[in-house]
Structure 1
Amino acid sequence: MGLAQLIEAHKHEVLGRWKEMVRTLSDARKLSEASLEDHVPDLIDWLAARLRDRASTDDYGSQRLSRVHAFQRVGEDFDLVEVLAELAVLREVLLYLWIEEPAGVAPTEVLHLNQDLDDVVTVCTTEFARQVVTRYCGSPEAAQTLGP
Protein backbone atom coordinates (compact mmCIF):
# COMPACT_ATOMS: atom_id res chain seq x y z
CA MET A 1 0.00 0.00 0.00
CA GLY A 2 1.43 3.37 -1.02
CA LEU A 3 1.13 6.54 1.02
CA ALA A 4 -1.84 7.80 -1.01
CA GLN A 5 -3.79 4.62 -0.35
CA LEU A 6 -2.78 4.68 3.33
CA ILE A 7 -4.07 8.23 3.69
CA GLU A 8 -7.32 7.39 1.90
CA ALA A 9 -7.88 4.26 3.99
CA HIS A 10 -7.41 6.23 7.21
CA LYS A 11 -8.88 9.58 6.19
CA HIS A 12 -11.48 9.70 8.98
CA GLU A 13 -8.87 8.71 11.55
CA VAL A 14 -6.48 11.37 10.22
CA LEU A 15 -9.21 14.00 10.38
CA GLY A 16 -10.22 12.92 13.89
CA ARG A 17 -6.65 13.02 15.20
CA TRP A 18 -6.09 16.37 13.53
CA LYS A 19 -9.23 17.89 15.08
CA GLU A 20 -8.37 16.54 18.52
CA MET A 21 -4.86 18.00 18.39
CA VAL A 22 -5.93 21.32 16.84
CA ARG A 23 -8.59 21.80 19.53
CA THR A 24 -5.71 22.23 22.00
CA LEU A 25 -4.64 25.42 20.19
CA SER A 26 -6.11 28.52 21.82
CA ASP A 27 -7.79 30.08 18.77
CA ALA A 28 -9.23 26.78 17.54
CA ARG A 29 -11.13 26.13 20.76
CA LYS A 30 -13.74 28.74 19.83
CA LEU A 31 -14.53 27.32 16.39
CA SER A 32 -17.62 25.35 15.48
CA GLU A 33 -17.06 21.87 14.08
CA ALA A 34 -17.80 23.06 10.54
CA SER A 35 -15.45 26.03 10.82
CA LEU A 36 -12.68 23.92 12.28
CA GLU A 37 -12.81 21.37 9.48
CA ASP A 38 -13.58 23.84 6.71
CA HIS A 39 -11.40 22.61 3.85
CA VAL A 40 -9.26 19.97 5.60
CA PRO A 41 -11.10 16.90 4.21
CA ASP A 42 -10.64 18.33 0.69
CA LEU A 43 -6.97 19.05 1.43
CA ILE A 44 -6.44 15.46 2.58
CA ASP A 45 -8.10 14.22 -0.63
CA TRP A 46 -5.93 16.56 -2.71
CA LEU A 47 -2.74 15.37 -1.00
CA ALA A 48 -3.65 11.72 -1.66
CA ALA A 49 -4.48 12.45 -5.31
CA ARG A 50 -1.25 14.40 -5.70
CA LEU A 51 0.75 11.50 -4.26
CA ARG A 52 -0.98 9.05 -6.57
CA ASP A 53 -0.35 10.96 -9.77
CA ARG A 54 2.03 13.89 -9.49
CA ALA A 55 1.92 14.67 -13.20
CA SER A 56 -1.83 15.06 -13.59
CA THR A 57 -3.00 16.56 -10.31
CA ASP A 58 -3.87 20.21 -10.59
CA ASP A 59 -1.56 22.44 -8.53
CA TYR A 60 -4.39 24.94 -8.38
CA GLY A 61 -6.10 22.70 -5.81
CA SER A 62 -3.56 23.42 -3.10
CA GLN A 63 -3.57 27.12 -3.87
CA ARG A 64 -7.36 27.33 -3.72
CA LEU A 65 -7.58 25.32 -0.49
CA SER A 66 -4.77 27.30 1.14
CA ARG A 67 -6.36 30.61 0.23
CA VAL A 68 -9.76 29.53 1.54
CA HIS A 69 -8.19 28.46 4.83
CA ALA A 70 -6.25 31.71 5.21
CA PHE A 71 -9.29 33.84 4.33
CA GLN A 72 -11.48 32.04 6.85
CA ARG A 73 -8.93 32.25 9.65
CA VAL A 74 -8.31 35.97 9.11
CA GLY A 75 -12.07 36.48 9.35
CA GLU A 76 -12.07 34.67 12.69
CA ASP A 77 -9.18 36.80 14.01
CA PHE A 78 -6.67 33.98 14.11
CA ASP A 79 -2.99 34.64 14.54
CA LEU A 80 -0.73 33.46 11.70
CA VAL A 81 1.16 31.26 14.16
CA GLU A 82 -2.07 29.40 14.95
CA VAL A 83 -2.89 28.97 11.27
CA LEU A 84 0.54 27.49 10.60
CA ALA A 85 0.24 25.32 13.70
CA GLU A 86 -2.92 23.76 12.23
CA LEU A 87 -0.99 22.81 9.10
CA ALA A 88 1.93 21.52 11.19
CA VAL A 89 -0.50 19.30 13.07
CA LEU A 90 -1.80 17.89 9.79
CA ARG A 91 1.77 17.12 8.71
CA GLU A 92 2.44 15.44 12.06
CA VAL A 93 -0.70 13.30 11.88
CA LEU A 94 0.11 12.19 8.32
CA LEU A 95 3.71 11.38 9.19
CA TYR A 96 2.64 9.37 12.24
CA LEU A 97 0.26 7.43 10.02
CA TRP A 98 3.25 6.47 7.86
CA ILE A 99 5.35 5.62 10.94
CA GLU A 100 2.57 3.35 12.22
CA GLU A 101 2.19 1.55 8.86
CA PRO A 102 5.42 1.98 6.86
CA ALA A 103 5.09 -1.14 4.72
CA GLY A 104 4.76 -0.33 1.03
CA VAL A 105 5.45 3.40 1.39
CA ALA A 106 8.41 4.60 -0.65
CA PRO A 107 10.62 7.29 0.94
CA THR A 108 10.05 9.49 -2.11
CA GLU A 109 6.32 9.52 -1.32
CA VAL A 110 7.07 10.97 2.12
CA LEU A 111 9.37 13.53 0.50
CA HIS A 112 6.61 14.48 -1.97
CA LEU A 113 4.07 14.78 0.84
CA ASN A 114 6.38 17.18 2.67
CA GLN A 115 6.97 19.22 -0.49
CA ASP A 116 3.25 19.50 -1.14
CA LEU A 117 2.57 20.55 2.45
CA ASP A 118 5.37 23.11 2.21
CA ASP A 119 3.64 24.56 -0.85
CA VAL A 120 0.36 24.73 1.06
CA VAL A 121 2.09 26.53 3.95
CA THR A 122 3.70 29.03 1.57
CA VAL A 123 0.45 29.90 -0.19
CA CYS A 124 -1.48 30.04 3.08
CA THR A 125 1.10 32.35 4.68
CA THR A 126 1.13 34.68 1.69
CA GLU A 127 -2.66 34.82 1.47
CA PHE A 128 -3.02 35.31 5.21
CA ALA A 129 -0.60 38.25 5.10
CA ARG A 130 -2.39 39.67 2.07
CA GLN A 131 -5.75 39.46 3.83
CA VAL A 132 -4.39 41.11 6.99
CA VAL A 133 -2.84 43.97 5.00
CA THR A 134 -6.10 44.49 3.10
CA ARG A 135 -8.20 44.28 6.25
CA TYR A 136 -6.16 46.63 8.41
CA CYS A 137 -4.60 48.94 5.85
CA GLY A 138 -7.58 49.01 3.51
CA SER A 139 -5.35 48.74 0.48
CA PRO A 140 -5.64 45.79 -1.89
CA GLU A 141 -2.81 47.37 -3.89
CA ALA A 142 -0.46 47.17 -0.91
CA ALA A 143 -1.40 43.52 -0.45
CA GLN A 144 -0.37 42.75 -4.03
CA THR A 145 3.25 43.55 -3.16
CA LEU A 146 3.27 40.34 -1.11
CA GLY A 147 3.55 38.17 -4.22
CA PRO A 148 1.34 35.99 -6.40
Structure 2
Amino acid sequence: MGLARLIEAHKQEVLVRWKELVRTLTDARKLSDASLEDHVPELLDWLAKRLRERASTDDYGSQMLSRVHAFQRVCEHFDLVEVLAELAVLRETLLGLWVEEPEGVTPSEVLHLNQDLDDVVTVCTTEFARRALALRGASEAAAETMGH
Protein backbone atom coordinates (compact mmCIF):
# COMPACT_ATOMS: atom_id res chain seq x y z
CA MET A 1 0.00 0.00 0.00
CA GLY A 2 3.00 2.31 0.36
CA LEU A 3 3.37 3.05 -3.34
CA ALA A 4 -0.37 3.64 -3.77
CA ARG A 5 -0.25 6.08 -0.86
CA LEU A 6 2.74 7.88 -2.40
CA ILE A 7 0.99 8.23 -5.76
CA GLU A 8 -2.15 9.60 -4.13
CA ALA A 9 -0.30 11.96 -1.78
CA HIS A 10 1.92 13.34 -4.55
CA LYS A 11 -0.47 13.19 -7.51
CA GLN A 12 -0.25 16.89 -8.36
CA GLU A 13 3.53 16.88 -7.98
CA VAL A 14 3.76 13.85 -10.28
CA LEU A 15 1.61 15.64 -12.87
CA VAL A 16 3.74 18.79 -12.71
CA ARG A 17 7.01 16.83 -13.03
CA TRP A 18 5.58 14.71 -15.83
CA LYS A 19 4.33 17.73 -17.78
CA GLU A 20 7.66 19.52 -17.43
CA LEU A 21 9.54 16.55 -18.86
CA VAL A 22 6.97 15.77 -21.56
CA ARG A 23 7.02 19.40 -22.71
CA THR A 24 10.57 18.77 -23.90
CA LEU A 25 9.19 16.38 -26.53
CA THR A 26 8.64 17.94 -29.94
CA ASP A 27 4.95 17.16 -30.44
CA ALA A 28 3.96 17.82 -26.82
CA ARG A 29 5.16 21.43 -26.91
CA LYS A 30 2.15 22.51 -28.96
CA LEU A 31 -0.52 21.06 -26.66
CA SER A 32 -2.55 22.91 -24.07
CA ASP A 33 -2.21 21.69 -20.48
CA ALA A 34 -5.67 20.10 -20.65
CA SER A 35 -4.88 18.27 -23.87
CA LEU A 36 -1.47 17.18 -22.62
CA GLU A 37 -2.82 15.81 -19.34
CA ASP A 38 -5.94 14.31 -20.95
CA HIS A 39 -6.41 11.11 -18.92
CA VAL A 40 -3.19 11.01 -16.89
CA PRO A 41 -4.86 12.01 -13.58
CA GLU A 42 -7.37 9.18 -14.00
CA LEU A 43 -4.56 6.81 -14.95
CA LEU A 44 -2.70 7.70 -11.74
CA ASP A 45 -5.89 7.02 -9.75
CA TRP A 46 -6.27 3.67 -11.50
CA LEU A 47 -2.64 2.72 -10.84
CA ALA A 48 -3.04 3.50 -7.13
CA LYS A 49 -6.25 1.46 -7.01
CA ARG A 50 -4.58 -1.48 -8.75
CA LEU A 51 -1.72 -1.37 -6.24
CA ARG A 52 -4.24 -1.53 -3.40
CA GLU A 53 -6.47 -4.19 -4.95
CA ARG A 54 -4.22 -6.63 -6.80
CA ALA A 55 -7.10 -9.08 -7.22
CA SER A 56 -9.14 -6.41 -9.00
CA THR A 57 -10.18 -7.19 -12.54
CA ASP A 58 -10.63 -3.49 -13.34
CA ASP A 59 -8.97 -3.10 -16.72
CA TYR A 60 -10.25 0.45 -17.22
CA GLY A 61 -6.80 2.02 -16.91
CA SER A 62 -5.02 -0.29 -19.29
CA GLN A 63 -7.93 -0.47 -21.70
CA MET A 64 -10.18 2.59 -21.95
CA LEU A 65 -7.73 5.25 -20.78
CA SER A 66 -4.99 3.89 -23.04
CA ARG A 67 -7.31 3.73 -26.04
CA VAL A 68 -8.59 7.26 -25.56
CA HIS A 69 -5.05 8.58 -25.08
CA ALA A 70 -3.86 6.83 -28.24
CA PHE A 71 -6.83 8.11 -30.25
CA GLN A 72 -6.21 11.69 -29.13
CA ARG A 73 -2.53 11.49 -29.99
CA VAL A 74 -3.24 10.06 -33.46
CA CYS A 75 -5.69 12.91 -34.09
CA GLU A 76 -3.05 15.40 -32.91
CA HIS A 77 -0.57 13.87 -35.42
CA PHE A 78 1.83 12.58 -32.79
CA ASP A 79 4.46 10.05 -33.66
CA LEU A 80 4.17 6.69 -31.86
CA VAL A 81 7.69 7.15 -30.48
CA GLU A 82 6.56 10.34 -28.74
CA VAL A 83 3.48 8.64 -27.31
CA LEU A 84 5.68 5.91 -25.87
CA ALA A 85 8.09 8.56 -24.56
CA GLU A 86 5.20 10.17 -22.66
CA LEU A 87 4.49 6.87 -20.95
CA ALA A 88 8.18 6.28 -20.27
CA VAL A 89 8.36 9.70 -18.61
CA LEU A 90 5.38 8.79 -16.44
CA ARG A 91 7.11 5.56 -15.37
CA GLU A 92 10.33 7.47 -14.66
CA THR A 93 8.45 10.08 -12.63
CA LEU A 94 6.66 7.45 -10.52
CA LEU A 95 9.84 5.46 -9.93
CA GLY A 96 11.59 8.71 -8.99
CA LEU A 97 8.93 9.32 -6.37
CA TRP A 98 9.61 5.87 -4.92
CA VAL A 99 13.37 6.53 -4.86
CA GLU A 100 12.78 9.80 -2.99
CA GLU A 101 10.46 8.19 -0.43
CA PRO A 102 11.18 4.44 -0.29
CA GLU A 103 9.87 3.88 3.24
CA GLY A 104 6.92 1.51 3.29
CA VAL A 105 7.17 0.57 -0.40
CA THR A 106 7.71 -3.12 -1.08
CA PRO A 107 9.58 -4.50 -4.11
CA SER A 108 6.41 -6.33 -5.16
CA GLU A 109 4.55 -3.00 -5.39
CA VAL A 110 7.21 -1.65 -7.75
CA LEU A 111 6.98 -4.84 -9.80
CA HIS A 112 3.17 -4.54 -9.97
CA LEU A 113 3.39 -0.88 -10.99
CA ASN A 114 5.74 -1.82 -13.82
CA GLN A 115 3.44 -4.64 -14.94
CA ASP A 116 0.43 -2.32 -15.00
CA LEU A 117 2.37 0.33 -16.91
CA ASP A 118 3.53 -2.34 -19.38
CA ASP A 119 -0.14 -3.21 -19.97
CA VAL A 120 -0.92 0.46 -20.60
CA VAL A 121 1.96 0.71 -23.08
CA THR A 122 0.80 -2.42 -24.91
CA VAL A 123 -2.80 -1.25 -25.27
CA CYS A 124 -1.78 2.28 -26.19
CA THR A 125 0.67 1.06 -28.86
CA THR A 126 -1.85 -1.32 -30.40
CA GLU A 127 -4.64 1.25 -30.42
CA PHE A 128 -2.37 3.96 -31.83
CA ALA A 129 -1.34 1.64 -34.68
CA ARG A 130 -4.97 0.67 -35.37
CA ARG A 131 -6.07 4.31 -35.49
CA ALA A 132 -3.12 5.36 -37.63
CA LEU A 133 -3.82 2.56 -40.11
CA ALA A 134 -7.50 3.48 -40.24
CA LEU A 135 -6.69 7.14 -40.90
CA ARG A 136 -4.36 6.10 -43.69
CA GLY A 137 -7.06 4.05 -45.37
CA ALA A 138 -6.27 0.53 -44.20
CA SER A 139 -9.29 -1.70 -44.13
CA GLU A 140 -11.17 -2.00 -40.87
CA ALA A 141 -10.48 -5.75 -40.87
CA ALA A 142 -6.72 -5.20 -41.24
CA ALA A 143 -6.67 -2.63 -38.43
CA GLU A 144 -8.76 -4.88 -36.17
CA THR A 145 -6.40 -7.85 -36.54
CA MET A 146 -3.59 -5.90 -34.86
CA GLY A 147 -2.97 -7.23 -31.37
CA HIS A 148 -4.86 -10.49 -31.85
TM range (shorter): over 0.9
Cα distance in 2, alignment partners of residues 59 and 37 from structure 1 = 20
Matched, 1:118 2:118: yes
Cα distance in 2, alignment partners of residues 60 and 28 from structure 1 = 24
**TM-score scaled to structure 2, two decimals?**
0.97
Amino acid corresponding to residue 118 of structure 2 in structure 1: D
1:34-68 CA-to-partner distances (Å, cap 9, x unmatched) read 10000000000000000011112501332100000
| Unmatched 5+ stretches in structure 2 | none
User: Partner residue of 1:4?
Assistant: 4
User: Partner residue of 2:66?
Assistant: 66
Secondary structure of 2:136's counterpart equals: helix
User: Partner residue of 2:49?
Assistant: 49
* Aligned positions of 1:31-42 closer than 5 A: 31-42=31-42
User: Partner residue of 2:96?
Assistant: 96
Contact between 1:49 and 1:57, CA under 8 Å: does it hold in 2? no
User: Partner residue of 1:15?
Assistant: 15
User: Partner residue of 2:146?
Assistant: 146
- Following TM superposition, the consecutive aligned residue runs of length 4 or more in structure 1 with deviations greater than 4 angstroms are none
User: Partner residue of 1:108?
Assistant: 108
User: Partner residue of 1:82?
Assistant: 82
Contact between 2:47 and 2:61, CA under 8 Å: does it hold in 1? no
Amino acid corresponding to residue 34 of structure 1 in structure 2: A
How many residue pairs were aligned? Answer: 148
1:74-107 CA-to-partner distances (Å, cap 9, x unmatched) read 0000000000000000000000000000000000
Q: 1:101 to 1:57 in 2, by over 3 A?
A: farther
Amino acid corresponding to residue 76 of structure 2 in structure 1: E
| Unmatched 5+ stretches in structure 1 | none
Deviates more, 1:55-64 or 1:69-78: 55-64
